[in-house]
Amino acid sequence: MNIKSTVNIDEQLLNQRGYRQELQRGLSLWSSFAVGFATVSPVVGIYAVMSLAAIHMGPAWVWIVPICLLMQLLVALVYAELASRYPLAGGCYQWVKYLGGARMGWFTGYLYLASALASLSTVAYLGGFWLWLLLTGEAPAANAQVFSGFILLLLGLFVNLLGINPLKYFVNAGILAEAIASIGMGLLLLLFFRNHDFSLLLQGITSGEGTSLNGFLTAMAVGGWAFLGFDACSQVAEETRQAQKSTPRAILRAITLVGLTVMLTAFAVTLSFEDTQGMVSGEVFDPVTPAVVNAFGQWAQTPFVAIVLIAFIACTVSIQTYISRALFGMARDKTLPAASLLKQVDRRKVPFVAMLVATMIASAGLLLGLNATAVGTLIAFGSGGFYFVFLIVVSCALLARLRGRLIDNAQTFNLGIWRWPVNLMAFFWLIFEAINIAWPRIELAPADAPWFQVWAVFLIFSILAVLGIIYLLIYQPEKTLPRHKTQQIQG
């Protein structure tokens, strides 16, 4: 099948849903996968979870990674099925809109945007640390890290505004950096620079005073942070060739390869880092860089920092990409304020206003980095919010199956006889993990953190839910949908 006929089929599918092709359909399966891989990012994932999980579960924390990977793979399978059936910009907003109704679709999209914007601010803030470290050789103060994070957001905005083709080449460079920093370093550390026997991985030593169950649940909550963003592939579905086939494959490959890479890095660093007690006590917050420097020498520090920075930049760029498509997808249905502006596409076929708005909001979120307590709240909600979205999507898919509205289609990716067990297991996993992440834990908050940060996920979700319901009742965005789309949803 040639590219022209493929594009025609993709456009026909888009037209059937009442949309026209406005974005450039220039992504292959590999490029779609690259966006998902860079967004989930094994480098960002390992730095997000390793220290905290090790503090609460000891070296045995590494077994949390395959557990969370397996459970999130169930979620990804449901997402892959829906992405194949509804390959539209907006992703989860579109799926829930068609399966659960326009109001529930809007609420899902709204919560998704809030979580994604918090995630963008968080990744830019964390990436700012590596930019400053590379340029100055010193760890940044709070204001310097915020400034560096703002530079990363501007760089990501510039790359995205160039169009989809330059974007995919930039993301590919990020994947190369990920491969070097995670897979290459991980294999070398594991094979040639291991300082501990494999029996260390069965030791659940911890410096905390909680029970082993409490340590396990806390580590599970932290481990879930490493597997967010694989649905980015679905947000660029309208820019992907053969989207019905390519998008579900990209989703599953992204989470699988990222998960395996995080596992490799987790095992390698834990077994090669000499000061295990320092890691589990929290005295060493970054065991990855010292493990690399101890193995290869001091000369390796600057190149390694540069590679990690590239991975953070690629992650930032990818998150900006999918947030702008999520905004575009909702604005196109006239369900957001200033929708006529947010849906605008420039000559490069980029939703540039949505991109600018996403960057501005994330930049405002960066200011929370001036206060360690506030940025902790941002990080906590960024992960918890995504799991609530996962739960809504998987629940809607399950209800649609019960009502006979989600049946197998020969033209799309299907789970076949596994659809019920996969959907049910994903549903129960997400109930557990959403509650587990939102559960108020003093041990995950900074020292002397106020009570509201301990309850951050619950409080912010509640506030957003109330504001969202008020907006729904007053503005009734579901009434702005064109009539043919309303009929499709009701059907």
Q: What is the 3-state secondary structure (H, E, C) of the chain?
A: CCHHHHHHHHHHHHHHCCCCCCCCCCECHHHHHHHHHHHHCHHHHHHHHHHHHHHHHHHHHHHHHHHHHHHHHHHHHHHHHHHHHCCCCCCHHHHHHHHHCHHHHHHHHHHHHHHHHHHHHHHHHHHHHHHHHHHHCCCCCHHHHHHHHHHHHHHHHHHHHCCHHHHHHHHHHHHHHHHHHHHHHHHHHHHHCCCCCHHHHHCCCCCCCCCHHHHHHHHHHHHHHHHCCCCHHHHCHHHECCHHHHHHHHHHHHHHHHHHHHHHHHHHHHHHCCCHHHHHHCCCCCCHHHHHHHHHCHHHHHHHHHHHHHHHHHHHHHHHHHHHHHHHHHHHCCCCCCHHHHCCCCCCCCCHHHHHHHHHHHHHHHHHHHCHHHHHHHHHHHHHHHHHHHHHHHHHHHHHHHCCCCCCCCCCCCCHHHHHHHHHHHHHHHHHHHHHHHCCCHHHCCCCCCHHHHCHHHHHHHHHHHHHHHHHHHHCHHHHCCHHHHHHHHC
What is the rounded average pLDDT of the residues 94-117? 94
Q: Which of the residue ranges 177-181, 265-269, 300-304 would you say has the lowest mean pLDDT? A: 177-181
Here the tokens at position 415 are 């789970």
Question: What are 27's strand-pairing partners?
Answer: 240
Q: Tell me, what's the pLDDT at 206?
A: 45
**Spatial distance between the Cα atoms of 120 and 389, rounded to a whole number of angstroms:** 16
Render pLDDT for 15-42 as a digit per residue (tens, 0 to 9). 988 899 999 999 999 999 999 999 988 8
Q: Tell me, what's the pLDDT at 451?
A: 81
Average per-residue pLDDT in the chain?
Answer: 88
The answer on pLDDT for 208 being more than 70 is no
Domain presence at residue 307: yes
pLDDT band, very low/low/confident/very high, at 72 (cuts 50, 70, 90): very high
The answer on pLDDT for 210 being more than 50 is no
Counting Cβ atoms within 10 Å, is residue 144 exposed (0-12), middle (13-18) or buried (19+)? Answer: middle
The answer on pLDDT for 454 being more than 80 is yes
Here the tokens at position 223 are 């481990």
Question: What are 29's strand-pairing partners?
Answer: none
Domain presence at residue 31: yes
Nearest CA among 397, 398, 390 for reference residue 430: 390
Place of tokens 């991980």: 186
Q: Which residue has the higher pLDDT, 76 or 173?
A: 76
Percent residues over pLDDT 70 in the chain: 93
Q: Torsion over CA of 88, 17, 467 and 372, rounded to 10 degrees?
A: 0
**Spatial distance between the Cα atoms of 7 and 133, rounded to a whole number of angstroms:** 45
Q: Which of the residue ranges 13-17, 281-285, 310-314 would you say has the lowest mean pLDDT? A: 281-285
Counting Cβ atoms within 10 Å, is residue 296 exposed (0-12), middle (13-18) or buried (19+)? Answer: middle
Domain presence at residue 45: yes
Q: Tell me, what's the pLDDT at 6?
A: 55
Q: Tell me, what's the pLDDT at 316?
A: 95
Counting Cβ atoms within 10 Å, is residue 139 exposed (0-12), middle (13-18) or buried (19+)? Answer: exposed
Q: Tell me, what's the pLDDT at 247?
A: 96
The angle at the Cα of 242, spanning 239 to 247, to the nearest 5 degrees, equals: 70
Place of tokens 């605008």: 344
**Spatial distance between the Cα atoms of 336 and 478, rounded to a whole number of angstroms:** 10
Assign residue 447 a region (left: φ > 0; alpha: ψ between -120 and 50; beta: otherwise).
beta
pLDDT band, very low/low/confident/very high, at 4 (cuts 50, 70, 90): low
What is the rounded average pLDDT of the residues 363-372? 85
pLDDT band, very low/low/confident/very high, at 7 (cuts 50, 70, 90): low
What is the rounded average pLDDT of the residues 450-465? 86
The answer on pLDDT for 470 being more than 50 is yes
Domain presence at residue 326: yes
> Are the beta carbons of 106 and 126 closer than 8 angstroms?
no
Number of domains in the chain: 1
Give the total residue count for the chain.
491
Q: Tell me, what's the pLDDT at 95?
A: 96
Domain presence at residue 354: yes
Q: Tell me, what's the pLDDT at 485?
A: 55
The answer on pLDDT for 477 being more than 60 is yes
> Are the beta carbons of 49 and 332 closer than 8 angstroms?
no
> Are the beta carbons of 198 and 271 closer than 8 angstroms?
yes
Render pLDDT for 371-402 as a digit per residue (tens, 0 to 9). 766 666 777 777 889 999 999 999 999 999 99
**Spatial distance between the Cα atoms of 354 and 325, rounded to a whole number of angstroms:** 8
Question: What are 240's strand-pairing partners?
Answer: 27
Q: Which of the residue ranges 79-83, 170-174, 235-239, 328-332 would you say has the lowest mean pLDDT? A: 170-174
CA distances to 138, 141, 154, 440, 469 from 145, in Å: 11, 6, 14, 27, 36
Domain presence at residue 20: no
The answer on pLDDT for 2 being more than 60 is no
Task: Work out the widest C-alpha separation in the chain, in whole angstroms.
Answer: 66
Q: Tell me, what's the pLDDT at 184?
A: 87
Q: Tell me, what's the pLDDT at 483?
A: 52
Instruction: State the CATH number of the domain containing residue 447.
Output: 1.20.1740.10
Domain presence at residue 315: yes
Alpha carbons within 13 A on the beta-carbon side of 205: 12
Domain that holds residue 67: 3-9+27-490
Q: Kindly give, in sequence order, each residue whose CB lies less than 8 Å from that of residue 180, ignoring residues fewer than 6 positions away.
A: 307
Q: Tell me, what's the pLDDT at 489?
A: 54
Render pLDDT for 322-363 as a digit per residue (tens, 0 to 9). 999 999 999 999 999 999 999 999 999 999 999 999 999 999
Domain presence at residue 14: no
Here the tokens at position 175 are 């994947």
Render pLDDT for 145-163 as a digit per residue (tens, 0 to 9). 999 999 999 999 999 999 9
pLDDT band, very low/low/confident/very high, at 3 (cuts 50, 70, 90): low
First to last CA, the chain: 32
